[in-house]
């Protein structure tokens, strides 16, 4: 609908119309448009983009900019790795990768999850055991209350 959204999705593709899109086919605003006849693309850690032909001639260049928010946790998650700016997130600050605290880019790599699967499995087992202990204590308490009520009769 023309609204600008934000993403951490770095799996870019060139669509049939020649525009660079994310993995869902949405156009990437601010990404340099590839020139006709390009065969290769090189992205520097500082965001510089170079388009080359089959024989290595440079057909075009461009620059990728990143958006930073004063409160990234304030972004509204829409699913599909898309986020909307909110009042809580603040307005985006645009800049080149590697400058003013912005991250650097690495071509050919995707960001992995920051979840440690072993630690999360251990936490899940601990939570399950705590639940079992609480459940047993409630059953024991109920049993004791039944015995007390039977003694009164």
For 71-120, what is each residue's pLDDT tens digit? 989 999 998 888 999 999 999 988 888 888 788 888 887 777 777 889 99
What pTM value is reported for the model? 0.62
Distance CA 20, CA 31 (A): 7
Distance CA 23, CA 19 (A): 13
Contact 98, 43 (CB under 8 A): no
Task: Give, for 136, the enclosing helix (H) or strand (E).
Answer: helix 117-152
Contact 74, 89 (CB under 8 A): yes
DSSP state of 114: -
């Amino acid at each position: 609908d023309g609204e600008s959204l934000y993403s951490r999705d770095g799996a870019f593709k060139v669509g049939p119309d020649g525009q660079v899109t994310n993995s869902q086919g949405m156009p990437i605003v601010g990404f340099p448009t590839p020139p006709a006849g390009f065969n290769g693309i090189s992205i520097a850690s500082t965001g510089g983009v170079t388009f080359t032909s089959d024989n290595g001639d440079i057909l075009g260049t461009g620059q990728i900019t990143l958006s930073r928010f004063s409160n990234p946790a304030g972004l509204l998650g829409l699913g599909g790795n898309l986020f909307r700016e909110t009042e809580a997130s603040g307005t985006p600050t645009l800049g080149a990768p590697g400058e003013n605290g912005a991250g650097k880019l690495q071509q050919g790599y995707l960001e992995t999850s920051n979840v440690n699967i072993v630690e999360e499995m251990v936490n899940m087992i601990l939570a399950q055991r705590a639940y079992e202990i609480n459940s047993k204590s409630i059953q024991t308490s109920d049993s004791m209350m039944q015995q007390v009520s039977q003694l009164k009769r």
